[in-house]
Structure 1
Amino acid sequence: MNGSSFPESKRRVKSGPHVEKKLNAAFVRKAGPGRHADGGGLYLKVDLSGARRWMLRTVVRGRRRDIGLGSANLVTLAEAREKALDLRRIARSGGNPKVRTREDEGKVITFKEIACLVHERKFKDRKNNGKHIAQWIRTLETYAFPILGDLAVSEINQDDIEAVIDPIWTTKAPTASRVLQRISVVFDFACGRGYRTTGNPAAGMLGTMRPQGQKAKHFSAMDYHDLPELMKRLSRQNVVGALALRFTILTALRSGSVRHARWDQFDAGLTEWTIPAEMMKTRSEFIVPISMHAREVLLTAQIHRTNGSPLVFSSPSNPKKPISDNTMRKLLQTYVPGVTVHGMRAAFRTWAREDTAAPDDVAEMVLSHAVGSKTVQAYNRAKLLHERHKLLEQWGMWAMGEFELYADPETRAAEVGRRTIQMFASLD
């Protein structure tokens, strides 16, 4: 019997792994718990907690291995497929892809994912003291995850951990000590696995913290009267750190949301930015109205976009990764020593209260702070969009030193109205 006697379908079957693509971006965002195959050994693994990460199952030197490719919140489906293909090639050539990926994985695997893994391993075979087992991860969920949860373990510094610990160091002293100890355990594990090459950032922090009888210091804030001069200096630069810092100040948002901003989160006219729930401290989707000056920053960032990166403010060394938290902080402190990026939100809040007499609910909503009951919050989130846009237009005018041009309140109000209308007209 010759080959021609076989059915056509059988003669066309290829040996090797089947790599037909089965997943799509929408499914990756919404997939429920379990392991979901994309083909070619690539899987999306979703935990009961909702954490989702990529895993490649392949054969390395005759043995089947599972290799983590990072968080699905940070690594896109296309990037995961690209990494999987690259690592399969290394494995086929006799190399060990796991050695190569461990440090790279630390750049994408999140603190939350490592913490959940540590919790699972630490209490895997323990049946007693269930309350303690639950509290171990719950304290991290309550205090650490809102700030550290979505950050890559290799990018977290002592400043980030202080932002978790400092507010509760004296008010909830026993809890703060436990949280710090548990954070340190998570980073010990990350260092041991090779996800960090710079050591445990929590090591030695206990000895540098103030006595727990002292009051916490708030984030250092800049006097808003000095802001126009700072913005003038930043406007002379088009480097990514300066653009990101200007955009953070003009939107009055937390730096984490800005650093991870993606172009597909903005509308066509760059007049609104929809931040996904997982990138917000409130864990609720948030719509940000973009002022004229903030839009100018985005347009400049588009011109300097690197290799079609999906990120608005990507790392110069790796366009697929966001800039580090230290990028903006170091730049800010070269101009205003001691002031923090987070403290710029306090400068906005003080300005809104003292110079504009803006309603508290509008100013608080700009900062994405919860106002009132859940029902009131849902109502206000839509109702106050126009009011927030007008307030942010005024903030942009103040920050860029334009208030002197519109000293008369009526003239200023008319200009704010004109700019607001112009921004929405850009969609037509």
Structure 2
Amino acid sequence: MDGSSFPESERRVKSGPHVEKKLNAAFVRKAGPGRHADGGGLYLKVDPSGARRWILRTVVRGRRRDFGLGSANLVSLAEAREKAFELRRIARSGGNPKVRTREDEGKATTFEELARQVHERKFKDNANNGKHIAQWLRTLETYAFPTLGNLAVSEIHQDDIETVLDPIWTSKPETARRVLQRISAVFDFACGRGYRATGNPASGMLGSMRPQRQKPEHFAALDYHDLPDLMEKLNGSNVVGALALRFTILTALRSGSVRFAEWEHFDDTLTEWTIPGSLMKSGEEFVVPITTHARDILMVVREHRTKSSPLVFPSPSNPRKAISENTMRKLLQSHVQGVTVHGMRAAFRTWAREDAMAPDDVAEMVLAHAIGSKTVQAYNRAKLVHERRKLLEKWGMWVMGEAYKYNDLADLDREAGRRAIKMYADE
């Protein structure tokens, strides 16, 4: 990196001569956030998180450059001064200190420091799926950092990683695989930067670990026959959590899309909802037909809308923020223990197949699932809005316990099907 990477506030250094060897070991351990000069272009950089590292600023072939000399947890003040002196000597002789630092930096960078760098770079411009972004680092903090965190990235071997994975490999198989995947991503980055000469120690480990026999757990779903009773209980409350949960069930969408829905995403008549790609798992815009019962909920919510928030279901404590992801889950489990909000989508899919006998492509499109191969998706421009509206209207009748309406509509569908079969047979 070069000098322009420092914020302006950090590039301002007090005028006057730079006294050599201004720092001491005690100060290095306790220094607060900021950039602290030792002299001769050597600085201790302390992040707000408390992470501290050495940086040398010097001139290389007429241009000012900054070179990382490693973590202050691994490189002592004396070692940092020695490295700085050597790199300044290389620069003065016309050489390139970067060649030397790439060889040494892996020995002076801890796994935790590099993992946090990878996490920041990986998700820097990605505001979607904040839960996944947080979990990416949290799994490493929980399982990997206690063992690997303070080790230099150049000195970690496969047996070190096995020490991390072995206790959870069969007891938490999905978590263990994710931890391995994220550890591997950190070492891919280390190898790309030249911090390791022996390659990625996590490569090939998935095939060499013992079998994981535990089947993956699925989201707990409520039997669709029990949904009318649940909705009857929820209808007795107009708190934002209950309204959001009812709307989520009626639209069969993921809770994240509902939690962050804004009024500007709906048309004026509240009959169509255009969800921006940033709120969809697929990353693509999705149009949702709003049915009778879902619209009724929006009408109730709109009566209590506040100008301070663009959100349809804002947090009661802070209208500028969406309701917590736990709000609907806790409310649902207060009525039916062990069931998840995501499981409502599974209930819809089972109902669509077993009771409504809906075409698979229509049911899958309601759930915003990709249909067919990528080639098929590229040529399938049909959004099936009319078909989805019809299916969701029937779903609304079912979950709201309107059996008389639902059965009449189902009879009409069956009669239309019989007529179509007879016409085909007569041709």
Question: TM-score when scaled to structure 1?
Answer: 0.52
- What is the SS of the residue equivalent to 1:322? coil
Matching residue of 1:92: none
Is 1:218 aligned to residue 200 of structure 2? no
Give the CA RMSD over aligned residues: 4.5
TM-superposed CA distance for 1:383, in Å, is 3.8
Distance apart, 1:407 and its partner CA: 2.0
Equivalents in 1 of 2:8, 2:117: separation in Å? 37
Cα distance between partner residues in 1 of 2:292 and 2:329: 24
1:344 maps to 2:357: no
Structure 1 distance, partners of 2:411, 2:229, is: 23
Hey, what's the Cα distance between the residues in 2 that align with 1:157 and 1:282? Answer: 24
Q: CA deviation at 1:408?
A: 3.6
Q: Is the 8 A contact 1:406 1:412 kept in 2?
A: no
Per-residue deviation, 1:287: 0.6
Q: Secondary structure at the residue paired with 2:358?
A: coil
Change (3 A) 1:329 1:406: closer
* 1:150/1:279 contact within 8 Å kept: no
Q: Which amino acid in the other structure matches residue 256 of structure 1?
A: G
Name the residue aligned to 1:311: 311
> Cα–Cα, structure 1 residues 177 and 399, in superposed 2: closer, same or farther, change >3 Å?
same
Structure 1 residue aligned with 2:235: 235
For residue 253 of structure 1, what is the amino acid of its counterpart?
A: L
Counterpart check, 1:148 vs 2:130: yes
**Preserved contact between residue 140 and residue 179 of structure 1 (Cα < 8 Å):** no
Distance in 2, matches of 1:212 and 1:135, equals: 31
Give 1:356's aligned residue: 356
Work out whether residues 308 and 320 of structure 2, in 8 Å CA contact, stay in contact via their aligned partners in 1: no
2:286 aligned with 1:286: yes
Aligned-partner Cα distance in 2 for 1:386–1:306: 32
Distance 1:381 1:397, change over 3 A: farther
Secondary structure, counterpart of 2:273 in structure 1: strand
What aligned pairs does 1:23-422 form with structure 2 within 5 A after superposition? 127=102, 147-148=129-130, 170=173, 173-179=176-182, 212-374=212-374, 376-377=376-377, 380=380, 382-409=382-409, 413=413
Displacement of 1:234 after TM fit? 0.7
Q: Against the structure 1 CA distance between its residues 145 and 311, is the aligned structure 2 distance closer, same or farther, given a 3 Å change threshold?
A: closer
Distance 1:316 1:146, change over 3 A: closer
- Residue 231 of structure 2: SS of its match in structure 1? helix
State the one-letter code of the partner of 2:173.
T
Q: CA deviation digits over 1:68-101, x for unaligned, max 9? A: xxxxxxxxxxxxxxxxxxxxxxxxxxxxxxxxxx
- Contact 1:276 1:286 survives alignment (8 Å): yes
* Change over 3 Å in CA distance of 1:219–1:406 after alignment to 2: closer
Radius of gyration: which is bigger? Answer: 2
Return the letter of the residue paired with 2:252: A
Partner Cα separation in structure 2 for residue 137 and residue 157 of structure 1: 11
C-alpha distance 409-174 of structure 1, shift in aligned 2 (>3 A): closer
Change (3 A) 1:319 1:157: farther
Equivalent-residue separation in structure 1 for 2:175 and 2:8 (angstroms): 47
Q: What whole-Å deviation, never above 9, does each CA across 1:264-297 have from its counterpart, x for those lacking one?
A: 0001111111111111100111111111100011
Gaps in structure 2 of 5+ consecutive residues:
1-6, 14-47, 49-69, 72-97, 107-113, 143-167, 187-210, 415-427
Q: Give unmatched runs, 5+ long, in structure 1.
A: 1-56, 64-101, 103-121, 184-210, 415-428
The secondary structure found in structure 2 opposite 1:407 is helix
Count of aligned pairs between the two proteins:
261
Cα offsets for 1:37-85 (capped at 9, x unmatched): xxxxxxxxxxxxxxxxxxxx999xx99xxxxxxxxxxxxxxxxxxxxxx
> 1:242 offset after TM fit, Å?
0.3
Cα distance in 2, alignment partners of residues 180 and 412 from structure 1? 57
How far apart are the structure 1 equivalents of 2:309 and 2:119? 35
- Note the C-alpha offset of 1:376: 3.5
Structure 1 position 380, deviation (Å): 4.4
Tell me the secondary structure at the aligned position of residue 321 of structure 2. Answer: strand
Matches within 5 A, 1:1-16: none
Residue type of the alignment partner of 1:357: M
Q: Secondary structure at the match of 1:287?
A: strand
Contact 1:271 1:295 in 2 (8 A): yes
Inter-partner Cα distance in structure 1 for 2:227 and 2:271: 24
Deviations 1:136-176 (A, max 9, x none): 559977xx98743688x69x999xx9xxx99xx63795444
Contact 1:290 1:389 in 2 (8 A): yes
- Structure 2: which amino acid aligns with 1:319? P
The letter for the 2-side match of 1:170 is: P
For the 8 Å contact 1:139–1:179, the answer to whether it is kept is: no
Sort the Cα spacing of 1:356 and 1:127 in 2 relative to 1 into closer, same or farther, 3 A: farther
Shift of the 145–260 alpha-carbon distance from structure 1 to 2, 3 Å rule, reads closer
Q: Please tell me the residue identity of whatever aligns with 2:232.
A: K
How big is each residue's C-alpha offset from its partner over 1:197-242, in whole Å with a ceiling of 9 and x where there is no partner? xxxxxxxxxxxxxx95422211100000000011111111110000
Pair 263,150 (structure 1): closer, same or farther in 2 beyond 3 Å:
farther
Measured in 2, the distance between the counterparts of 1:381 and 1:308 equals 38
SS for the counterpart of 2:305 is coil
